Structure 1
Amino acid sequence: MKMKASALLFSIICTASTLSCTDLETTPRQSLTPEVALSDVAGYQAVANSMYSLANTFTYYGQQMMIAPEILADNLRLVANTGRYQGEEANGDRDHIGLWNGIVYGGINDANIILAGIDDENVRGEQADKDIIKGEAFFMRALFYFDLCRVYGYEPGKEVNGFDLGPILRTTPTLAASDADFRARSTVLQVYEQIESDLLESISLLPLVPVGSEGVYYANAGAALTLLARLYLYWGRMQDAEAAATTIMNALGLRSNGDGLLEAGQYVQGFSRAPHPESVFELELRVVDWSSVDGVNNSLNSLTSNTDPSAQFIIAASNELMAAYEPQDVRRNCWAETTRDGIEGPVFASRKWTGFKGDFLENIPVIRAAELYLIRAEARYQSNPAGARADINALRSKRGLGPIDNLLSGQALFNRILLERRLEFALEGHRFFDLKRNGLNITKHANFEEVPYTDYRILSNIPLAQVQLNDRLVQNPGY
């Protein structure tokens, strides 16, 4: 007999808290044989480090996954023409998020290498260390596949014309060309089931670490359970989303009055601290992670901020986003009013990505504690509107704002939740997906036309070279 979700999650988290270029990309590189590189825990830790490093890249969370979902929708606008993100701002054909590459699938393969071999009795090392590395691999594989699903597929129950395909699903490693094979795409539902399984495994293996501690630089039980809650929200499993969010909020000390989040006066400064005080999972960037020119050419700081005179500053907040903030909302202070040559009127530069570590360098909080309040509010809005309003008000109390209308319910309450998400996570890579996963048209800024949910441009295209290489690979509709 299955345990109820809340009871299962509670038992898992209690256990965890006691513990300290194509999809055929191969790792490790040919310079090291698996027998040498993977003979002890240190070798597997190196593979785990590779997973994190791949997530840092500019084609993933280092830039694209934070900017593209915002400018594909209505939160950002271009204020300089450098050729970057012009197609995304206009939602041009094949101008979308490109994750079907060796970065993401290479990260999946790293995870598969760990999971396939670390428990071998011939691998030297303590079992406790093996378990943590294994938990990290389960979490990162889940994150990689979750992102592939939301970029290339429709969420379950939101399919257009019955199209339900997601990424290619691989759970065994590709160590050499002889291991490679061409596969068809799995359904999003099949991949979601694998993600759920991976996250439940990771929760049981990883330590529970405090919000904003250095432990958030690695996969941890809180991050896994938060990602699980997010997965359930995308999946439409609202009771499970609420249960997962509540479990981890209780475990992390996130209270119903908002205690555990930053106070309003500390909000902006929080984005210039490492780790971010609200981080549940954060990618740590260091100078060794990029070359001397990467910062000015590719960093979030350079592209979205003018804090450094040599910054590119090509992307700013849309006027529509700025108009959506209430006057006392401290989140508005994450945008600084300035001017830009060739642009009439005020321009708003980001103060979330300030390069506070020097030379355009900063960490990237991928999962913040504030998300749990809004996940739970959305999961509750139909079944428990009072509870949903309470979660919104708890967050707002830490953002310098008073409570929302005590009678707000139904569609108006749902719209309020999406608005709070828009304001809270601006330039953190959520806006496009929040609209898409709810089957909504993609709203745009200025004179750009909104994209109907049934439009083929809602999904990204698989690179043509991959479709030509693999005759079992079905392209997304419309491309």
Structure 2
Amino acid sequence: MNKNIKNWLFIGATVAFMTSCDSQLNVLPTASIDESEALSNSQAVEVTLTGAYDALSSTNLYGGAIQYSGDLLGDESEVRFAGTFTTLDEMWRKTFTTTNGQTQATWLAGYNTINIANNVLSALDKVDAAKKNTVEGEARFIRGLVYFDLVRLWAKAWGDGDANANLGIPLVTTPTRGVTDADFRPRATVAAIYAQVIEDLTKAETLLPNVPAYNVDEQFGFASKGAAQAILARVYLQQSNYAAARDAANRVIQGAQFSLEDSFDAVFSDATNDGEIIFQITVSDQDGANNMNLYYAPSTYQGRGDIRVQTKHLNLYPADDPRGIFFVRASGNTFTAKFLDQFGDVPVVRLAEMYLIRAEANLRLGTTTGATPLADVNLIRNRAGATPLATVTINDVLAERKFELAFEGQQIHDAKRIKKNVGTLPFSDNKLVIPIPQREIDTNKSLIQNPGY
């Protein structure tokens, strides 16, 4: 299955057929085909799965919005949003309106992707036996990944009150092919969403091969065993389940399917990155879009230059850390150098994060599974060209995450899991949770709005 087949007209029809997602909008698809055609045989189901990847790569999801939402929402005046889009400005200022068009678009794109995955999972009996495990694993990976990031953005964080009582997001695991009253689902609890995420990713890990059998230039744009393990490591870390986070990260590292690049800057160039990215959104000049480039890069690199790095962030880096100069200057402003290629692939998760998760979890538990925390942290520092540490503390690991993963979408989630203020706002402030789109609330009377909106 080659990613280019997502341009087939069949995909357009299939995705349109499935777009009556659980966004709770009572709008029927403008184009449709009969289910008996859409999911009638193995090839049709496989093409539909490719449509799920296409949906996942939307700029409203992992083509940019999931990542910049996490960073703008978690920003503490380390960047400045200087663009004209009020939707992103609200995110950066933590002044959301319930009619914010960008958050609504991300919600809709998320549930559209989940619905396509649900359609694939509903038709596994049509898939050729030799491909069935892989198809199910990929669909479960996609669904688990999306549910994880939606619940992190639209609900109280794990550990902020009772996850068994806090409202998460609607949980839908069967296809929505026409909107009826039965499709107006209430919000499941945060705990229920996390349970589904873990179930999907755990199952995906058991079903998927180590590396997908696609073209080598595209393989990291598809789910693999390592990708499922890596997102599981994130999930468990978010829950402060350090033993499970450590072990999942260790499985990725010990699997030896991925390797650190020789230099930090090589990670962010498609020409030199050939092994560190565990899962990415593949972009080319014919297909896909990179909204990280759009917002984070200046016009000299085809971006808008809306997100500008401030001195407060630059001052965080020690003088001996070359990551502190991995920036570019244009028109008197500073920009991260991570997203300078308009057609660059968008990283979702990479191996360096796994070493840092293993280091933090081992340190908190007093264990040395895989390696000592000091060895893991220094591995990442050495690759970056920073001076190795003689000893390591939790604060050192958290600082290393900040330096290594800056502008990759983890800022708000790290703040919430360690219960750290975001500027003057406590980690539990309602302003740090995105409101349910008003259009959803107006249509689905079963939905309850987040506090404070």
Matching residue of 1:71? 72
CA distance in 2 between counterparts of 1:60 and 1:423 reads 24
Q: How does 1:168-187 map to 2 (within 5 A)?
A: 168-177=170-179, 180-187=182-189
Determine whether 1:101 maps to 2:107. Answer: yes
Matching residue of 2:17? none
Matching residue of 1:452? 426
Asked if 2 retains the 8 angstrom alpha-carbon contact of 1:24 and 1:180, the reply is no
CA distance in 1 between counterparts of 2:448 and 2:148 reads 19
| CA deviation vs aligned residue, 1:55-86 (integer Å, no higher than 9, x gap) | 22222222222222222213422345554632
Match of 2:314 among 298, 317, 322: 322
Pair 225,156 (structure 1): closer, same or farther in 2 beyond 3 Å? same
Pair 334,385 (structure 1): closer, same or farther in 2 beyond 3 Å? farther
Deviation at 1:233? Answer: 0.7
Q: How does 1:26-425 map to 2 (within 5 A)?
A: 30-72=31-73, 73-74=75-76, 75-81=78-84, 83=86, 85-94=88-97, 97-98=103-104, 101-119=107-125, 123=126, 126-159=128-161, 164-177=166-179, 180-209=182-211, 214-252=218-256, 260-264=259-263, 267-273=264-270, 277-289=275-287, 299-306=291-298, 308=300, 311-340=303-332, 347-355=333-341, 360-384=342-366, 387-406=372-391, 408=392, 413-425=393-405
CA distance in 1 between counterparts of 2:350 and 2:335 reads 22
- Aligned Cα RMSD in Å? 2.7
Deviation at 1:30? Answer: 4.1
| CA deviation vs aligned residue, 1:436-465 (integer Å, no higher than 9, x gap) | 12222113xxxxxx3222321121100122
CA distance in 2 between counterparts of 1:98 and 1:305 reads 24
| CA deviation vs aligned residue, 1:196-216 (integer Å, no higher than 9, x gap) | 111111111111029x96421
Matching residue of 1:440? 420
CA distance in 1 between counterparts of 2:28 and 2:79 reads 36
Asked if 1 retains the 8 angstrom alpha-carbon contact of 2:68 and 2:409, the reply is yes
- Aligned to 2:379, what secondary structure does the other structure show? helix
- Aligned to 2:52, what secondary structure does the other structure show? helix
Corresponding letter in the other structure for 1:243: D
CA distance in 2 between counterparts of 1:352 and 1:55 reads 21
Deviation at 1:397? Answer: 1.4
| CA deviation vs aligned residue, 1:251-275 (integer Å, no higher than 9, x gap) | 1267xxxxx31123xx213312166
Pair 45,214 (structure 1): closer, same or farther in 2 beyond 3 Å? same
Pair 469,178 (structure 1): closer, same or farther in 2 beyond 3 Å? closer
Asked if 1 retains the 8 angstrom alpha-carbon contact of 2:242 and 2:364, the reply is no
| CA deviation vs aligned residue, 1:299-350 (integer Å, no higher than 9, x gap) | 322322236375421212222221112234232343113433xxxxxx2122
Corresponding letter in the other structure for 1:392: V
User: Structure 2 length as normaliser, TM-score?
Assistant: 0.85
- Aligned to 1:324, what secondary structure does the other structure show? coil
Moved more, 378-387 or 104-113: 378-387
Pair 179,221 (structure 1): closer, same or farther in 2 beyond 3 Å? farther
Deviation at 1:38? Answer: 1.1
CA distance in 1 between counterparts of 2:317 and 2:28 reads 46
- Aligned to 2:334, what secondary structure does the other structure show? strand
% identity of equivalent residues = 30
Matching residue of 1:23? 23
For this pair of structures, how many residues does the alignment match?
A: 420
Corresponding letter in the other structure for 1:438: I
CA distance in 2 between counterparts of 1:362 and 1:305 reads 12
User: Structure 1 length as normaliser, TM-score?
Assistant: 0.80
Moved more, 374-383 or 137-146: 374-383
Corresponding letter in the other structure for 2:396: R
CA distance in 2 between counterparts of 1:353 and 1:28 reads 35
Deviation at 1:113? Answer: 0.7
Asked if 2 retains the 8 angstrom alpha-carbon contact of 1:24 and 1:174, the reply is no
Deviation at 1:186? Answer: 0.9
Deviation at 1:51? Answer: 1.6
| CA deviation vs aligned residue, 1:109-129 (integer Å, no higher than 9, x gap) | 11111111122xxx2x53122
Corresponding letter in the other structure for 1:76: V
Matching residue of 2:16? none
Moved more, 38-47 or 101-110: 38-47
Corresponding letter in the other structure for 2:420: L
Unaligned stretches of 5+ residues in structure 2: 1-20
